[in-house]
Structure 1
Amino acid sequence: MINMEVCANSVSSALAAQEGGAIRVELCDNLPEGGTTPSYAQILLAKKMLSLQVYPIIRPRGGDFLYNDLEFELMREDIQVCKSLNCDGVVIGILNADGSIDKERCKVLVDLASPLPVTFHRAFDMSNDLEKALEDVIEIGCERILTSGGESSALKGVDTLAKLIKKAAGRIRIMPGAGISESNIAEIIQKTGATEFHASARTAVASKMAFRNQQATMGSSSDEYSYLLTNSETVKNMILEANKPL
């Protein structure tokens, strides 16, 4: 059985993920930046309204994964919030300036999160040596690694993903993510043997605003009158594709 985790950018997306058959959501905000820590209210309502596992990402900002002392303190506090709200796990990732895994700080967060399990996110893909990073993440005590094999998509990184799964040898779960779709998930399974996958399964939802000011913009988005939301049918179809007999 292939399991699906959905990267949910809101409680609404998380509900759609659950409807589609996902077993877990990585709850986050700011998907265009790769995901940042969701608000207290998003986490609270997700835990109230969902029956699947909720893993908030612990990431204080977009950009790189080298954090200063204040940002690290924010991460510690956010983990405490997640524990107080009875989350099922958390998602972390910190690098040193040289691109190696910051084992010292990551271990602090893993120990602080205990007994909650911890996923190491795609900061892994930005590390300077994926095989060394694999051993480091195992050493600090994470239960899984979300990775594209160091490439822009899991399909491009499929050979590296297969090598990582073989090298992990059951010591940690390797969860392919980035660009996972209905059209490629079966191929990635066949080439890697992965049993867990991560996808956003998102689609653009058109605004219902009747009045639209086309001169002003609120951010970097090219379309101020649409937003992204997980699609339950897309999740369902990916799971069906993933679990078809070979």
Structure 2
Amino acid sequence: MSKRAVLEVIALDTADAVAAEAGGADRLELVTDMAADGLTPSVETFTAIRAAVGIDLRVMLRLADGFAAGDLRRLEEVAGALRAAGADQFVLGFLDAHGGVDLAAVERVVSVLDGCAWTFHRAIDHCADRDALRKALDGLPGLDAFLTAGAASGVDEGMPTLLAEAGRYEQRILVGGGLRLDHVPALRGAGVDAFHIGGAARSAGWDGPVSVEAVAEWRRVLDAG
């Protein structure tokens, strides 16, 4: 039996978080404003969710749509406020105008995190060179996962890349972005052990809350693999 896979669910509020935990999620990615693909939630939202659930929380550090770092001073302030409120896991990732990693921006934000674990998000799927991006980030404190669909358009197109990358890197591959249950067997077979869902955790899509039943179905499929 392969080891239990990590199931990470996007949560927008306390109700989402409670439902995801009840369904069997191992971890939550906390965001707001999914119309902008997920921005940093308020400290108040984080503290309310932290009080409501016992599972790990990874908080998005992203102030505007797109992959530019934007106002770095503000981002550092927000990261510091979340750290002070007890946040100890994060999600971030910035690209420069040429599609390379904005290493200076990443390093500035990571320095505020003081060694906390963090995921480099799907900016990797929009970069000019995946291997170059990984090499540039190698050795940064706390980096333990890349959230990726293997392609900008999602897992359907990115599956060959995901299967080729499985097990090649020190950091965990966290697969998300158009991920469906029928993708799971091939990914599990290749050794992928971390999965990220957003809309798939919601019976009514993004217009509705996280569904305990939807998350539980993902938990069953991952555990069966």
Q: TM (normalized to structure 2)? A: 0.90
Whole-Å Cα distance in 1 between the matches of residues 178 and 213 of structure 2?
17
Kindly report structure 1 stretches of 4+ aligned residues shifted beyond 3 Å: none
CA contact (8 A) 1:82 1:90 kept: no
Q: TM (normalized to structure 1)? A: 0.83
5 Å-filtered alignment, 1:185-196, equals 185-190=184-189, 192-196=190-194
Mapped pair 1:16 → 2:13: no
Whole-Å Cα distance in 2 between the matches of residues 137 and 121 of structure 1?
12
Whole-Å Cα distance in 2 between the matches of residues 166 and 73 of structure 1?
36
Please report how far the alpha carbon of residue 183 of structure 1 lies from its aligned counterpart in structure 2 after TM superposition.
Answer: 3.3
Mapped pair 1:59 → 2:62: yes
> Any gaps of 5 or more consecutive residues in structure 2?
none
Please report how far the alpha carbon of residue 103 of structure 1 lies from its aligned counterpart in structure 2 after TM superposition.
Answer: 1.2
5 Å-filtered alignment, 1:201-220, equals 201-204=201-204
Counterpart for residue 5 of structure 1: 8
Q: Percent identity?
A: 24
Q: What whole-Å deviation, never above 9, does each CA across 1:3-24 have from its counterpart, x for those lacking one?
A: 1011112221111111111111
5 Å-filtered alignment, 1:93-112, equals 93-112=93-112
Higher helix share: 2
Counterpart for residue 35 of structure 1: 38
Counterpart for residue 72 of structure 2: 72
- Classify the secondary structure of the residue corresponding to 2:57: strand
5 Å-filtered alignment, 1:1-246, equals 1-62=4-65, 64-68=66-70, 71-141=71-141, 142-168=143-169, 171-190=170-189, 192-200=190-198, 201-204=201-204, 227-245=207-225
- Classify the secondary structure of the residue corresponding to 2:119: strand
> Any gaps of 5 or more consecutive residues in structure 1?
206-225
CA contact (8 A) 1:6 1:25 kept: yes
Please report how far the alpha carbon of residue 66 of structure 1 lies from its aligned counterpart in structure 2 after TM superposition.
Answer: 1.5
CA contact (8 A) 2:124 2:133 kept: yes
The verdict on how the C-alpha distance between 1:100 and 1:174 changes in structure 2, with shifts beyond 3 A counting, is: same
